[in-house]
């Protein structure tokens, strides 16, 4: 059984308390290990994120709420650090309204964590691909509403 994933504010706070990047990487890996189990049936081509060197899957479900459609995300990766990055994006986006997701500046949030400077170019590109995929899902939810 895994712990609940912290929200993005808790993750930012943890990053501020951890000075050493090796420790931060361990924290990112721990976040990934605590993700809920990803269903085998969801490891489909449709859920696979293009542009990631590692295998990454994002499953998006939608719920109509008073302020419009909300997106609920599940994700997984076959790489430990990338799985942690998935956890960070789920903390940032999952449960949010499509409008809020489109208004959220993921780059600014990730810059707060200092991730870009400490990721390989391939991981940075993969992270961008995940953000773009979530934003496309939010666009699609608004278009269908």
Residue 41's CATH number: 3.90.1010.10
The residues assigned a catalytic role are 52
Mean pLDDT of 124-144: 94
- Residue 2: inside a domain: no
Provide the token pair at 135.
């934003």
User: Rounded to whole angstroms, how far apart are CA atoms 129 and 135?
Assistant: 10
pLDDT for res 96:
96
E strand spans, the chain: 56-65, 68-77
Rg (C-alpha) for the chain, rounded Å, is 15
Residues of the domain holding 83: 8-144
Q: Is residue 84 part of a domain?
A: yes
pLDDT in tens, 44-100: 999 999 988 899 999 999 999 999 999 999 999 999 999 999 999 999 999 999 999
| Residue 8 backbone phi and psi in degrees, to 5 | -65, -35
> What pLDDT, in 10s, does the model give residues 9-31?
999 999 999 989 999 999 999 99
- Tell me, yes or no, whether 14 lies in a domain: yes
């Amino acid at each position: 059984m895994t712990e609940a994933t912290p929200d993005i504010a808790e993750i930012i706070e943890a990053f501020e308390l951890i000075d050493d990047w090796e420790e931060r990487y361990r924290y990112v890996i721990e976040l990934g290990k605590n993700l809920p189990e990803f269903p085998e049936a969801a490891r489909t081509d449709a859920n696979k994120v293009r542009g990631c060197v590692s295998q990454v899957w994002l499953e998006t479900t939608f719920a109509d709420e008073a302020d419009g459609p909300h997106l609920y995300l599940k994700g997984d990766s076959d790489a430990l650090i990338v799985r942690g990055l998935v956890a960070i994006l789920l903390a940032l986006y999952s449960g949010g309204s499509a409008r809020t997701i489109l208004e959220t500046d993921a780059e600014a949030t990730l810059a707060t964590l200092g991730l870009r400077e400490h990721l390989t170019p391939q991981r940075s590109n993969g992270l961008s691909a995940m953000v773009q995929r979530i934003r496309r899902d939010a666009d699609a939810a608004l278009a269908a509403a």
